Structure 1
Amino acid sequence: MATGSFQLVVGDTVRVSQPSVSRCCRRVGRAIARLARRYVRFPDREECKTLKSRFQSIAGFPNVIGLIDGTHVRIQRPKNHEADFINRKGYHSLNVQMVCDHSKKVRSLTAKWPGSTHDARIWRECHLRNQFEQGAHNGFILGDSGYPCTPYLMTPFRTPEAQNQEQFNLALCKTRVLVEQTFGIIKRRFAILHYGIRTDLATAVTYITACVVMHNFGIEHGDILEEDYLDDVFEEQVYHENVEINANHVGNIVRQQLVQRFFN
């Protein structure tokens, strides 16, 4: 997972056969992935109080408890429904949704959707969204313009008409860039997510989950990247398909209230 090497190369290095490498990787990957409920969990109300303060100190955006975005992980050509897995850049992938906090720790992971699936669709079907709809969390998640603006998910103004709306957009983008950096760090730590996973779909999902678990484990135990290394972490370019994002009237009202209260 760390090197993204072919199993045959790994086997030659440690002097075992490729099938043995495959079996070991699957077994260890599954064992680590089973720890996801322990290491990849959304913060409770008490923890959210600390998160809001940490997020607001970045760019002044209030009441934030998470940052959301999707990243594509290249996979080999699947046997079934191949066309669904071809993303907008023309290769087979899984569109992996993550929600992270200020420390670049992943708080929510959805790693099952084909690469052609839009970010808004993944969020609409997400268990975390249902929790927000039911009032289980008190705070905002920040997303880009690929998501609908709702009372709990703030997105930038597509065409800001006033200076305070521009200030809102700037604060949101300065805060939300952390999720892009999180993707970069995870893909640098675990090169298999950058170069591609050459297994069946089920095992690919297992490896993605295991990498995120190990990433969070490292953060919890002080395994932080050096600042000069962070400066070199790439930020993914954001492209959005020409799809209609359903407007949320209440979400727009909440966003405008935030502008008037905090960004005038």
Structure 2
Amino acid sequence: MVCTGARVLTTLRFLAKGNYQSEVGDIHGISTSSASRIIHRVCSAINSRLTNIQFPRGEDLTAVKEGFYQIATFPNVIGAIDGTLVPIQGLSGDDEPNFLCRKGYHAINVQAVVGHKLRFTNVVVRWPGSTHDAFILQQSALYRHMDTNLNAGWLLGDSGYPLKVWLITPLANPSNLQEQRFNKAHCKTRNIVERAFGVLKQRFRCLHKTGGALSYRPERSTNIIEACFRLHNLAVKKNIQLNLDQPLPILHNDHINQQQNIAAQTLRNQLIQRF
């Protein structure tokens, strides 16, 4: 079956609304199975041809650091990292418990890094909803890249991540005004990843519980999720306006990381002195 331009556009519109293959099929007079194939052919084409999720390197790092610094005078930041849960339909079989997240529904846990302009620069779409954010990071190519490029800059993450010399997390219990100011600046700067997730899921309600849940097996769901991230980046680049409704609650796998790293703690203590 040939995916015409009209069918591509209609498919993406329904994905954005949170509707699925039956609606796409109805409007074109085709079967549900054919509509499903069109959706996934479109998403696969997007993911192979739209190569716009790229981690900053070289000269781009300077611009990113300057952009983040303007938010709350937090220096040397090249990205904010977090995970977000994307609901999928209930599963059965041996893998089912792995996809049940802490919020009580089946999901994919997506790790993403965002730059200062709300564009995603790194995305990992493969892990079941029960997987901790710190584990996803440790298994990723991003971890290895950061661990071998220690002078590139810092990522900002929440307390679910381990404190590293390249990954700055907030203080669990700030004890003075300086530490409180550090945490406030950290939170304000890192919040950009929360904003990016919110905009992404406003654009594509199929990624949020208000749009139902992705009605495909996990490997097909990840194909759709990645396509939505790439289309979000394209929309940001083209300055396509978003008609915002009420802010969406963005859900994560809440977890406090207890790992200790002396060198990273020393670096964070030095950084706190700026505030």
TM-score over 0.5 (shorter chain): yes
8 Å Cα contact 1:180-1:235 kept in structure 2: no
Letter in 2 for 1:222: N
Q: Which residue of 1 aligns with 2:5?
A: none
From the superposition, tell whether residues 235 and 57 of structure 1 become closer, same or farther in structure 2 (CA, over 3 Å): farther
Instruction: Indicate whether 1:117 and 2:134 are aligned.
Output: no
Report how far residue 85 of structure 1 moved: 0.6
Q: 1:129 aligns with which of 136, 140, 143?
A: 143
Matches within 5 A, 1:61-100: 61-78=74-91, 79-100=93-114
Partner of residue 169, structure 1: 183
Q: Flag the 1:60–1:235 CA change in 2: closer, same or farther, 3 A.
A: farther
Instruction: Report if aligned partners of 1:33, 1:207 keep a CA contact under 8 Å in 2.
Output: no
1:250 corresponds, among 263, 266, 273, to 263
AA at the equivalent of 2:254: H
Q: Distance in 1 between matches of 2:19 and 2:61?
A: 39
Q: Please give the alpha-carbon distance, in whole angstroms, between the structure 1 residues aligned to 2:52 and 2:187.
A: 27
- Deviation of the 1:3 alpha carbon: 1.6
Q: Does the aligned pair in 2 maintain the 1:141–1:154 contact within 8 Å?
A: yes
Q: How does 1:1-264 map to 2 (within 5 A)?
A: 1-35=15-49, 38-78=51-91, 79-135=93-149, 138-194=152-208, 195-225=212-242, 229=244, 232-236=246-250, 240-241=254-255, 244-260=257-273, 262-263=274-275
Q: Distance in 2 between matches of 1:235 and 1:6?
A: 22
Root mean square deviation of aligned Cα:
1.7
Query: How far did residue 245 of structure 1 move?
Result: 2.7
Q: CA deviation at 1:222?
A: 1.9
Q: SS at the partner of 2:165?
A: coil
Structure 1 residue runs without a partner (length 5+): none
2 CA distance for matches of 1:164 and 1:112?
39
Bigger Cα displacement from structure 2, 190-199 vs 131-140: 131-140
Matched residues in 1 for 2:99 and 2:30: separation?
33
Q: How far did 1:235 drift?
A: 4.8
Structure 1 residues 193 and 140: alpha-carbon distance in aligned structure 2, compared to 1, 3 A threshold: same
Structure 1 residue identity aligned to 2:136: I
In the aligned structure 1, how far is the partner of 2:161 from the partner of 2:150? 20
Q: 4+ residue stretches of structure 1 with deviation over 6 A? A: none
Question: Residue 39 and residue 244 in structure 1: after superposition, are their counterparts in 2 closer, same or farther (change >3 A)?
Answer: closer
User: 1:13 offset after TM fit, Å?
Assistant: 2.1
Offset at residue 244 of structure 1 (A): 4.8
Q: Which amino acid aligns with 1:13?
A: I
Give the secondary structure class of the aligned counterpart of 1:39.
Answer: coil
Task: After TM superposition, give the deviation of residue 143 of structure 1 in Å.
Answer: 0.6
Name the CA distance, whole Å, in 1 between partners of 2:168 and 2:67.
17
Which amino acid counterpart does residue 193 of structure 1 have in structure 2?
A: L
TM-score (ref. length: structure 1): 0.92
1:35–1:213: 8 Å Cα contact kept in structure 2? no
Give the Cα separation in 1 of the matches to 2:120 and 2:269: 29
Q: Name the aligned partner's letter for residue 101 of structure 2.
A: N
Shift of 1:16: 1.8
Distance 1:165 1:148, change over 3 A: same
Q: Take 2:122 and 2:252, find their aligned partners in 1: how far apart are those partners? A: 20
